[in-house]
Amino acid sequence: MTDARNVRTIVVGVDGSDASVEALRQAQSLAVPLSATVVALASWDVPPVYDGYVPTGIDDFDVRAREILQETVATAFGAEQPANVETRLVQGRPRHTLIEASRDADMIVVGRRGHGGFGGLLLGSVSSAVVAHAHCPVLVVHTPDAM
């Protein structure tokens, strides 16, 4: 990417956290002047089960993930979803789906949810993986109270 005018798609990792709400807002503030599309991407996966043991209540992960995606977009933008914002739900683990999405994106935006011994200095596992392996630039956003 050599020119900001070439930015057409900004993918945002969405998981329902305050950090992902802020990531959506920041992506939108970048997208509007560039006439870019914001893709709010959420992922879901079925947890691994062990031989013959399938616990009850482990279905409908996609339904709940879609609800979280819609709730997060509504929290970020209110009742009116901006025309340039799309939602996408993908089956898979978050780090893998975001890295794959980066192949066709001009930028990835993720929220920082890392918790560790150094607090604000650490990235979470998903944001660290995306920063290390994405095929496009990555912006990591902190929640306003974490700044």
What is the tens place of the pLDDT at every residue in 104-118? 999 999 998 655 444
Report mean pLDDT in 10-residue bins for the chain, 147 residues. Answer: 72 94 96 96 81 63 91 95 96 94 96 59 74 94 71
The residue range of the domain holding 115 is 9-49+57-146
Residue 12 to residues 56, 91, 109, 140, Cα–Cα distance (Å): 32, 16, 5, 10
Q: What is the CATH number of the domain that holds 19?
A: 3.40.50.620
Number of domains in the chain: 1
User: Is residue 76 assigned to a domain?
Assistant: yes
pLDDT of residue 56: 62
pLDDT of residue 133: 94
What does the alpha-carbon distance between residue 100 and residue 130 come to, in Å, rounded to a whole number? 10
pLDDT of residue 45: 87
Q: Are 25 and 40 in contact (CB under 8 A)?
A: no
